[in-house]
Amino acid sequence: MIEFDSSSGDILIDGESFPRQTQENMNGHFVGENIYSSLNKKTVNTENKPCDITAYYKNGRLTRVTVSLDSEFIRQTYTAPADLDFRDYMTPYIDFCKRETEKLRKSIIETSKNTFAWGKLQVVTDPRDHYTFIEIKYGT
């Protein structure tokens, strides 16, 4: 089960949160003098929908967390409109993903507030592959 603590910005998965600092021996990759790494977990939200949660680290510090619905779940629940225009076939799919991600956000995050003392959160759609997710940035 996934929960969100708006006072600290912690995402809780079955009562445990992602660590704010990682161990030195965590696998990652170097870019210049910086080391980047990530942790991924799968869980369900309060409506029993499967979610993917990924925490991103830079030099051992948690910088952001993304929460998204499982892509297989999206494929199974999406139904294309009957009057779909082939010239604009992606728009209904993207709108569906945005609506479902907003529902996910409302199911785990009680407040409509987006900016906090610890950082901010937003629903984002990646224009490269139409991947929609909740992004929680820390220290912004």
Going from N- to C-terminal start, the domains of the chain cover 2-138
Distance of CA 1 to the CA centre of its chain: 15
Q: How far, in Å, CA of 135 to CA of 7, rounded?
A: 17
How far does the chain reach from its first CA to its final CA, in angstroms? 27
Q: Which two tokens stand for residue 26?
A: 């965590």
- What mean pLDDT is predicted for residues 28-32? 85
How confident is the model at residue 9, as a pLDDT? 85
Question: How much helix, strand and coil, in percent to the nearest 5, is found in the chain?
Answer: 20, 45, 35
- Residue 24: pLDDT over 70: no
